[in-house]
Amino acid sequence: MDIKDCFFLGKIVKKYSFKGELLIKLDTDEPELYENLDSMLIDLRGSLVPFFVESSQLHKSELLRVKFEDVDTEADADSLIKSDIYLPLSFLPELEDDKFYFHEIIGFKVEDKNFGFVGVIKAVNDSTAQSLFEIDRDGIEILIPMNDEFIAKVDKPNKTIFVDTPEGLIDLYLEE
């Protein structure tokens, strides 16, 4: 399975016991959804390797305490620390119509209420304080904050996001 067919679930942060148990810091708002998984994919030097879960339970809200099959010693556990954990995209729960996962809106068109067609979403930048749509308009990058007040409608069937941005925001990127 390729990483492009998966989503990032979390990172193994430390050992929990001398019996090979590990703590995974989950990257989710709903950790309880991932408490009873049968297996997980661990990124080992660029390859996703399936590991079967013997037992797991939530530990201090965003941490998941996991015991993998065949990880029985501290040395086994040490070799997995700082590894990223992934799951297939099919494990993501369905979202309501106006909600979306970042990966699924890549390629969506963006239409502004006042400006008209803005461009096509090429990426989502979530490394800033507020996530941003990175939009390509004929080679010009336009950034629009992913603010609930700006997003008027998400039309998944037609792959279009309708926005209502403050006047002049888009023009800032188009001025020479």
Structural domain 3-89, CATH architecture: Beta Barrel (2.40)
Chain segment 81-135, per-residue pLDDT in tens: 999 999 998 888 777 777 888 888 999 999 999 999 999 999 999 888 889 999 9
Given this model, what pLDDT does residue 126 score?
Answer: 83
Q: Report which DSSP code applies to 78.
A: H
| Residue partners of 134: CB distance under 8 A and separation at least 6 | 121, 122, 123, 124, 125, 141, 143
With a pLDDT cut of 90, the percent of the chain lying above it is 68
Adjacent-strand bridge partners of 7 = 87
User: How far is CA 51 from its chain centroid?
Assistant: 21
Q: Distance between CA 176 and CA 165 in Å, rounded?
A: 21
- pLDDT of 5 reads 87
**49-94 residue pLDDT tens:** 999 999 999 987 779 999 999 999 999 999 999 999 999 988 887 7
| CA 52 – CA 116 distance, rounded (Å) | 50
Is the pLDDT at 18 greater than 90? The verdict is no
> Residue 151: its pLDDT value, please?
94
Q: What is the pLDDT of residue 14?
A: 94
End-to-end Cα spacing for the chain: 45
Distance between CA atoms of residues 136 and 63, nearest Å = 37
Contact 81, 12 (CB under 8 A): yes
pLDDT of residue 30: 81
Q: If one looks up domain 102-174 in CATH, what number appears?
A: 2.30.30.240
pTM of the predicted model as reported, rounded to 2 decimal places: 0.68
Q: Do domains 3-89 and 102-174 have the same CATH topology?
A: no
State how far the Cα of 168 lies from the Cα of 155, in Å rounded to an integer: 24
CA 28 – CA 34 distance, rounded (Å): 9
Examine the pLDDT at 139 and tell me if it is beyond 90: yes
Residue range 144-162, pLDDT digits in tens: 999 889 999 999 899 999 9
Instruction: Provide the residue ranges of all domains of the chain, joining segments of one domain with +.
Output: 3-89, 102-174
pLDDT confidence of residue 55: 94
Helix, strand or coil for residue 89? helix
Instruction: Using CA atoms of 118, 124, 129, 130 in order, give the dihedral in degrees to the nearest 10.
Output: 40
Q: State residue 104's pLDDT score.
A: 86
